[in-house]
Chain A
Amino acid sequence: MRRLALPALLLAAALDGCAPATPPPSCRTAATDEGLGRPPYLARLSRRETSGACAGATLPSVMRLGVQDFVPPGTGPATLALRPERLVDLVQGRVFLADVDRRNDCQAALEGDPRPRCEACSPDGGNACVLVPDPVPRRDPSGLRLDAVGPFAREPVAGRCLAPEPLVVEQQLAPEPLTLVDGGSATLPAYQARFAFSDVSVITTPEVPGTAFTATLTHTEGPCTVVSDVLAFFPAVACTVDAQCATALDPDAGVRRLSGINPAFKPVCDPAAGFCVPTVDVTRPGLPPLP
């Protein structure tokens, strides 16, 4: 019987740990990679506190965020970058368009704004929807530091990947003179904006592989400071109807293109926000439906 002992030993060794195993998820996000057409995240902001002189709402309740994770090969430290749309709009002058030339409402159509205001234009002469040069100097965003960058965890803890330090980005814009389309002149005001994302917690589970995160945003623009809770998810898909948020192809219903949203999010179109939003609570395991 000794002759059978060796095969039995090998068998036992081989069967050690019978249960199948897969590697656990590591900290990653979906990245806004241009050239590949990957969209930004959509952040829903719920205002918590304001301080300073805030005239009206400075930030809409939804804002797009460019996100990119940087996880090098090996065991070196990882980095996370967030680029808020508001900052890009400030730097590119988009924020001031309505102020600069109120008579030229059609300017918005040229910016690719999903809600063009051309219906205000009159069809005969005047401000018809025609191409006019943009009076606002468009700064090349690639030359400027527009990202809130900070360290990022490599391994998730209890399904969350944390950024241990706040991610901060700040820009100072000097006043700038402009020549307008109608020949007049104006001055872009000086501006100071600061975005600080703290308590960034990226949900990293097999169901939600880094495509949603929560954070606290402290946003300062001029004298106004707003602290908001951020719930961001990927991707930001602009919509007017539910079919644009589809996660399954349905040629008979006219759905020929997928939105790219995780089907488990069960997205629908929110007409007020103008974007597809999930109808499940992405922060809870099992993704229960929102009340």
Chain B
Amino acid sequence: MVRSTVAALALLVALAPGVGLGQEDAALTGVVTDATTNKPLSDVVVRARGAPPAGLQVVRTDATGTFLLLQLRPGRYELSFERATHQALPRPGVEARAGATTRLDVALLANDVTAPQTPAGSEPAPSVDVGSARQAVSLTRDFLERVPFVAPSVAGVRTFEDLARAAPHAVEDRSGFGLNGSQASESLYVVDGLQVNDPATGLLRAGRLGGALVPLEFLEEASVITGGLSPAFGRGTGGVVTAETKSGTNVTRGSVWGSWWPGALTARGQTLRREGSSVELDARRHNTGDFGADVGGALVKDRLWFYAAVAQGVDRQRVTRGLRRFLLTDDRQDFLLDDSGSLRTERLAEASAFDDRRSLSWLAKLTLRAAPTQTLSLSAFGSPQERAEPGLGPSGQGGARSTSNVTTTSLRYSGSFFERHLVVDATVGWSRTEQARLPSDGSRPGATEGLAGVPQTTFRGDRPLSLLEFEALPEGLSGLCEPAGFSATRRVDSRGTSRFVMACPVTGSDAAFSIGGPGLLEESLADRLQARGSVALRFQALGHHVARAGVDLDWTQAQFTRARSGGVSLTGTGAVGAPLDAEADAFLAGPGQLVPLLVVRSAASQLSTGAFLQDSWRFADAVTLNAGLRYERQQLFAAPGQPSLSLQTLSPRVGLVYDFTRRGRSRLFANYAVQHQALPLQLADRALNGEWRTRTRTTCDPVADPEGARVACADPANALPLDADPLAPSQAVARLAAGPLAVDPALQAMTRGELSAGLEYEVVPNLRVGLVGTHAWLLRAVEDVSTDEGATRLLANPGAGLASGLPPAERRFFSGTLFASRAFTDGWLLQASYTLSSLTGTWAGFLRPETGQLSPGLTTAFDTASLTVNQSGPLPGDRTHLVRAYVAKDFEISSAVSLVAGLAYEGASGRPLSYLAAAPGVGLDEVYVLPRGAAGRTPWIHTVNARAGVRWRVTPAQAVELQLDVMNLFNLQEALEVSERFSSAAVVPAALPAGTDPQRAACLAGNDPTCRSVLEKREGDAVVPVRTTDLNAGFKQPTLYQQPLSARLGVKLTF
């Protein structure tokens, strides 16, 4: 079959092709016609020459006059069309876009025809992707260098993870940017064909640091793909952020850059109004900066290229811990207020230290054209980072050091065979992720000496404790605070809020106070091997076909070590000296026989295999049908010898594209896809290996006797009986977790369906506008559930199988996006979009935004049926309106000097708020008192960043650029997050009859004193009405503000 196709297509000769590497290859197609007769011309020799390492690709048009250039590296190409009977036509400056198939039709003049005055083919080539229904934002070097939409986020470096914010529907939460209603851990982050997600959580960030930190300066181009993914991408139910690093060209080029983001040029931000505590923790930027250098060139011209880059970032924050007192009236019965109605305070003492984050990113790459049709690329990347958390407060508590290092090595191959009928891509990569959070004094987890042996004690609760219980004030100031042992009384203050009146409280309402050691310590090491290969075959059968097939493998193995400093985590809810709740990693060997596990070591691994088939069928000149199928399978293994969990999905991916201009200037498209989500290793470790945790009540006193506490608090002999049902065999120990989870035999993989359709049109050359509608819905989620209120737990799909009694996990996303995009040409670029969307359902994803719990597959969302009441509503990632506008323009002042101006505007309407209360035995903020989203919305957030730069071309090859970035140009200080804690009591979710206004029923609307609220709370076994004293005074108070106005200076030297 292949041979006959060769005959039908005549000779396709490959000389020295410019081969791309991988999924983000570009393709160019088009029809060559005779300018006079408009008939298609066959056997036209089409040459495409790109900048090295892209070389020369030569193809011929077939009988229908169509040519197809596959596997192109994205970039600019010079095309030429030659035929013996016609005049040669050069077409320089044809842009091949990553991941897209663009169309360029040309007309050749016969030899005997005179050329017209205006040469044909002078207008730019069309830029619409007519080959697929892919929706993506393309971020070229021109965009990345000019538009100030990314600020240094982790350790002084602007990394590629933040590129996701450029997508029309990108919503930020604590785990990153989620695309199209999914969360950040569901997106794939791909650099040079390798996935760089942290294997334990699926996020890019590993722990508290940045994971694979690839600076923007290393990148050649990047794309954020939000819809219409080809079957080559598996394992994620979100979008894809993919980037290609630079490779080096024939000319040796390099740059040196540096930036400085000083605290002196940062405005004072809004301080959070925390009224429950005398302790104020404030972190301000002291200095953030980075500098780096890169160089790329040819070791052997036209054969071997190299690229090397290194960047170092430093982020120093000044953390100040201040002690203050609230000013009281003379009779000490009420607080004094200032003009704005806040409590008046007076600073008593303060201490400050630096919170330092450092990062180093390095990349080395070699690209070899081994043979005219074979290209190999070898690259290595590393990003060690560290963070030193200062230990401020009594006993230097909290001092910890976090480290993270991601090292990857990869080999990519690209080649073609059988005269470019068969195109092969393969990538193999190995990466190692190490991360740790250890005490700053170097003591090891499980040790009894040093900070690792000091338990952390947290005091919280309704009744506030005095500051003087825990620390001393400077000479003479002690009299200003209540003494240790003081018991405050509750009063209704002048603002009508019920609170305990006290000058120096450190606990009470939302506040908590910690002493002792650094708390949770952890170390992990993960090794990952990825391999993928795909082939593409061209043939003709009632149109043009490109059939693709591929396989990919992902094997990850991780080891985890966890410990608590001192062996226990202590919580006190009463007075100092009263018994404490001690939580430890421990198991029971018999009734009341507690065996502590000072260090928990576990291992987990997973093997994901995928295979896909796709046919891209182009017929009727302008219609393309992409029909594909992807099979994805994931096996999760716990420790060796443990049985594994295996989940698989068969996902169809079908797309239809119609170019109604037939010239590559438009597309009308529709796409249907099913996506499979690979479960992160943290789930395998905790669910299949199991956890063993207990809680006891202990009589140790870490405040009075910190040294003795090391031994006393972990000693099982000091455990008091818990409030006893006399039938419990273990009267003094409650087990929070004991062993692995059972798994529903009918468990299915997490999957998401997506349907999108849209229209895109190139109005004028290089300016595309379009309208896209997307509907995405969660098909199944994997969560730990209990059908008997927590007595037995299992891993299941809520709403299916053994969990049929629970409501299903739902997430419904609808959006309509209007966008305009102009690539950087003639000195300016534009990217703008407006999205109207709705995200509703019962499950947000692996991260539970209400509590900040990031536990893939193990959140509390479906833990018991009573937690699922009122769970349905607008999800935290719902933003009704999203606006993005990015503009940049170059102004040529003289032949050597140019000005660069860039502006980035991101606007989002508010996020929905809920009324949250505590669930007994689970924690705070777990229960929806009224239906989700009933508490209104936060206001609009606008982010405006501007950049101004001066570029001076010293010589044709060397340039110097000075940049000034102003973040938050108008110093808008809107609250990004507010407290949704309606009450810390165990309020029963109000099950209201349909049609009742929840606000009215709960007496939250208006101030009608005769209103009787339907709200009730649990107190032990009884259910009693909710009182005003149960309501949290901090409800809807801001907990996070926008970063204030700041300026960042940068300098870059290119040579």
A interface residues with partner B (beta carbon < 8 Å): 3-4, 7, 10-11, 14-15, 17-18, 20-26, 28, 30-40, 64-68, 70-73, 79, 81-83, 85, 88, 92, 140-142, 146-147, 149, 206-207, 209-211, 234-235, 247-249, 251-252, 256-263
Contact = CB atoms under 8 A, between A and B. Distances in A.
A90 to B, nearest CB: 12
B1008 interface: no
B791 A73 contact: no
Given A11-B551, A79-B589, A262-B788, A64 B735 contact: no
Contact of B590 (A24, A70, A261): A70
Given A70-B593, A92-B726, 14 more contacts: A22-B747, A23-B645, A23-B688, A28-B738, A31-B735, A31-B791, A70-B588, A72-B595, A81-B591, A85-B727, A209-B742, A210-B792, A211-B788, A257-B866
22 contacts: A21-B635, A28-B742, A31-B735, A35-B695, A35-B697, A35-B722, A36-B921, A64-B727, A70-B591, A73-B739, A81-B590, A88-B726, A142-B724, A206-B744, A209-B742, A211-B791, A234-B788, A251-B993, A256-B991, A256-B1023, A260-B788, A260-B789
A36 B694 CA distance: 11
B734 A36 contact: yes
B1039 interface: no
A40 B725 CA distance: 9
Contact of B734 (A23, A24, A35, A140): A35
A15 B609 contact: yes
A interface SS class:
loop
Contacts of A251: 991-993
A66 B729 contact: yes
Contacts of A11: 551, 611
B730 A68 contact: yes
Contacts of B820: none
A248 B868 CA distance: 11
Contacts of A15: 609, 611, 631, 633
Contacts of B535: 4, 7
B792 A68 contact: no
Interface string B518-540: 00000000000001010100000
Nearest to B645: A22
A1 to B, nearest CB: 11
A256 B723 contact: no
A233 to B, nearest CB: 11
User: Of B721, B792, B802, which is in contact with the most chain A CB atoms at under 10 Å from its CB?
Assistant: B792
Contacts of B697: 35
Given A249-B866, A249-B991, A24 B692 contact: no
Contact of B789 (A31, A79, A146, A258): A258
Interface string B690-732: 1010010100000000000000000000000111111111111
Contact of A30 (B635, B726, B792): B792
B591 to A, nearest CB: 5
A209 B727 CA distance: 21
Given A10-B553, A209-B742, A34 B646 contact: no
A81 B589 CA distance: 11
Most central of B648, B724, B729 by chain A CB within 10 Å: B729
Contacts of B553: 10, 14
A88 to B, nearest CB: 5
Nearest to A84: B727
A65 to B, nearest CB: 7
Contact of B644 (A23, A211, A234): A23
A234 B688 CA distance: 24
B728 A34 contact: yes
Nearest to B988: A256
A149 B590 contact: yes
Nearest to A72: B587
B920 interface: yes
A25 B535 CA distance: 42
A83 B179 CA distance: 53
Interface string B739-771: 110111101100000000000000000000000
B787 interface: yes
A211 B866 contact: no
A67 B725 CA distance: 12
B328 interface: no
A72 B589 contact: yes
A94 B740 CA distance: 39
A193 B612 CA distance: 69
Contacts of B588: 68, 70
A67 B792 CA distance: 13
Contacts of A70: 587-591, 593
A252 B789 CA distance: 21
B365 to A, nearest CB: 26
B730 A33 contact: yes
A11 to B, nearest CB: 5
Interface in B600-646: 609, 611, 631, 633, 635, 642-646
Nearest to A75: B641
B727 A88 contact: yes
B592 interface: yes
Contacts of A210: 792
A36 B609 CA distance: 42
B788 A22 contact: no
B729 A14 contact: no
B424 interface: yes
Contacts of A67: 729
B865 interface: yes
A18 B805 contact: no
A285 to B, nearest CB: 13
Contacts of B724: 34, 141-142
Contact of A22 (B646, B692, B736, B866): B646
B743 A23 contact: yes
Contacts of A261: 788
A214 to B, nearest CB: 18
B739 A32 contact: no
Contact of B551 (A14, A30, A146, A149): A14
Given A66-B728, A79-B590, A261-B788, A71 B722 contact: no
Contact of B792 (A23, A24, A88, A211): A211
A7 B533 contact: yes
Given A15-B609, A258-B865, A260-B791, A26 B740 contact: yes
Contact of A32 (B695, B725, B866, B993): B725
A83 B728 contact: yes
B563 interface: no
A24 B747 CA distance: 12
B972 interface: no
Contacts of A38: 790-791
A83 B176 CA distance: 50
Given A209-B794, A258-B866, A263-B787, A37 B721 contact: no
Interface in B637-680: 642-648
Given A38-B791, A257-B866, A23 B728 contact: no
B869 interface: yes
Interface string B269-289: 000000000000000000000
Given A142-B731, A142-B732, A234 B742 contact: no
Contacts of A36: 734-736, 790, 921
Interface in B172-200: none
Nearest to A40: B727
Contacts of A82: 729
A67 to B, nearest CB: 8
Kindly name the residue among B424, B589, B635, B988 whose own CB sees the greatest number of chain A CB atoms within 10 A: B589
A34 B724 CA distance: 6
Nearest to A260: B789
A117 to B, nearest CB: 21
Interface centre among B551, B592, B736 (most CB of A within 10 A): B551
A71 B738 contact: yes
Contact of A206 (B645, B646, B802): B802
Contact of A142 (B592, B690, B743): B592
B551 A10 contact: yes
